[in-house]
């Protein structure tokens, strides 16, 4: 796109300035969020929560977030200070588009490429249908595998 965003250059007559995100570049067309009767703005927190809930709906996703964020989230949720729906999700939201990064823990035995594709597809479907934003990318990072039993069980020992 050969558009200049230097100061003093008008981009769209009725559109408010972009919120500093690269997510608005690259796609044109009519948006349900920008109309002749006003503008609807979707907050980053809304997109974060929708994307987090959508990722959790996918079979094979055990949890969201890296090890440190999961540990911190567990501590803050015990005292009622956190909302886990946004854990492990990072977004860039523009006027019409969004880019999303998600960190997941996959259940052992699941196909990681299948789970990542399913997460990507479900997040795009949910965010676009709920917010009206066009999702330009969803990056999925698999941070860990969940093995079901972390060795804390009281099962019978193999040796006596």
Give the pLDDT band (50/70/90) at residue 89.
Answer: very high
Question: Looking at residue 22, what is its pLDDT?
Answer: 42
Encoded tokens for 117 = 């594709």
DSSP string, 21-89: -GGGSS--S--SSEETTEE----HHHHHHHHHHHHHTSTTEEEES-HHHHHHHHHHHHTT---GGGTTE
pTM exceeds 0.85, yes or no: no
CB 126 within 8 A of CB 45: no
CATH topology of domain 40-146: Alpha-Beta Plaits (3.30.70)
Report the pLDDT averaged over residues 138-143.
Answer: 97
In the chain, domain spans: 40-146
Query: What tokens were used for 24?
Result: 């608005």
End-to-end CA distance of the chain: 71
The DSSP bridge partners found for residue 98 are 93, 135
pLDDT per residue as tens digits for the range 22-71: 444 334 444 678 889 999 999 999 999 999 999 999 999 999 998 655 45
Residue 109, classed as helix, strand or coil, is: coil
State how far the Cα of 141 lies from the Cα of 80, in Å rounded to an integer.
Answer: 27
pLDDT higher than threshold 80 for residue 5: no
């Amino acid at each position: 796109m050969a558009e200049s965003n230097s100061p003093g250059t008008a981009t769209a007559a009725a559109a408010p300035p972009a919120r500093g995100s690269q997510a608005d570049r690259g796609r044109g067309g009519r948006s349900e969020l920008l109309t002749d009767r006003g503008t609807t703005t979707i907050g980053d927190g809304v997109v974060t929560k929708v994307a987090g809930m959508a990722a959790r709906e996918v079979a094979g996703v055990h949890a969201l977030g890296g090890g440190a964020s999961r540990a911190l989230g567990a501590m803050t949720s015990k005292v009622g200070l956190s909302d886990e729906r946004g854990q492990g999700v990072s977004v860039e939201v523009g006027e019409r588009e969004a880019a999303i990064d998600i960190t997941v823990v996959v259940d052992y035995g699941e196909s990681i490429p299948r789970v990542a594709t399913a997460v990507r597809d479900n997040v795009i479907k949910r965010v676009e249908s709920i917010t009206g934003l066009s999702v330009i990318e969803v990056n999925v990072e698999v941070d860990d595998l969940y093995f079901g039993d972390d060795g804390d069980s009281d099962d019978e020992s193999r040796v006596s």
